[in-house]
Amino acid sequence: MNKTFIYGVGNALVDSEYKITDEELLQLNLVKGCMELNDMDNHNKLSNQLKKKYGVVKMMPGGSVANSLYTLAQFGENVSFTGRVAKDNVGATFEESLKFVGMQSAIKQVENGITGECIVLITPDHERTMYTYLGVSSDLSIEDISKDAIIKSEYLLIEGYLVTSDETNNVAKYCLDIANENNIKKIITLSDPNVVNFFKNNMMELINKKFDIIFCNKQEAYNISSSDNIDAAVGFLNKFSDEIIITSGSDGAYVYHDNSLVHVSCDKVMPVDLTGAGDMFLAAYLSSKAKGKSISESIKFANKCSGKIIQEYGAKFDSESEYKTLYSDL
């Protein structure tokens, strides 16, 4: 049986990026660097205001797991994705983007509703803040999941954003149960500090199912562990995984493996947009490990790749050649 490298489940969204001032972000009452959920009416109102005032800097298919799998596919990995979109132009664009890179997908298209959109707000310090209307992605159901696809994969990848609705949280638990029953390795990315804070009970339900790898940034690690230092955060997360990757922005990343915590620094770069840094990091790390590289080598490659993506707008490169250039370093 030919195994898929990774089967991923997540929100199928389109990212629309805008450059705004810190004052405008403050007026929206959003926490910089985090994601908050929006309802459809407020979302449409803000989207129209931003388009009229600024115009869209960049619009592209997004979603945390989908972004990571897109990069993995560009790196030549055999990956598969399940998400839910509406039968609208945005949903069609999302599905076409996966097909373009040869990704297997089991996209559920529904007649009613609209495809989810993430308004990405870029402030002068290049930090991104996300205001998300999930649309039909929040209705992803167990019936949309391919049990066979999970069983035929080496890894199951789950995004923390799935905990934001009871329906998608149940989907995540269902997928994890299938993986556990069939000895499929499991990966989770905690996704966002606000998500960890506001949906902590749901998140704990997931991580209690244990994972082969946990990815998170430093603030997410602090929030889930109710701590304020790396050692305490790792000590908490180690109850649920023996391999923990904690990214720390320009300070590089921490990796816990074989009962040892190591910090790996990264080269300093001038960022333009921090969108997708974590998604790129996860993809590059996993692709490097799949090529037989050591954990230390894989962290260095992931740091390099995430350092490249933040020098452009958006979570994806505009050109396939940029992926090929990075991949050639493996």
User: Global pTM?
Assistant: 0.95
Q: Is 68 exposed, middle or buried (0-12, 13-18, 19+ CB in 10 A)?
A: buried
Closest CA to 123 of 328, 325, 275, 322: 275
pLDDT of residue 240: 98
> Which CATH superfamily groups domain 4-327?
Ribokinase (3.40.1190.20)
C-alpha 243, offset from chain centre: 18
Rounded mean pLDDT of 187-205? 97
Q: pLDDT (tens digit, 9 = 90+) per residue, 7-48?
A: 999 999 999 999 999 999 999 999 999 999 999 999 999 999
CA distance 253 to 251: 7
Q: Where are the domains of the chain?
A: 4-327
pLDDT exceeds 60 at position 186 = yes
pLDDT exceeds 90 at position 162 = yes
Q: pLDDT (tens digit, 9 = 90+) per residue, 288-317?
A: 999 999 999 999 999 999 999 999 999 999
How does DSSP classify residue 88?
S
pLDDT exceeds 80 at position 1 = no
pLDDT of residue 247: 98
Residue 276's pLDDT band, with cuts at 50, 70 and 90, is: very high
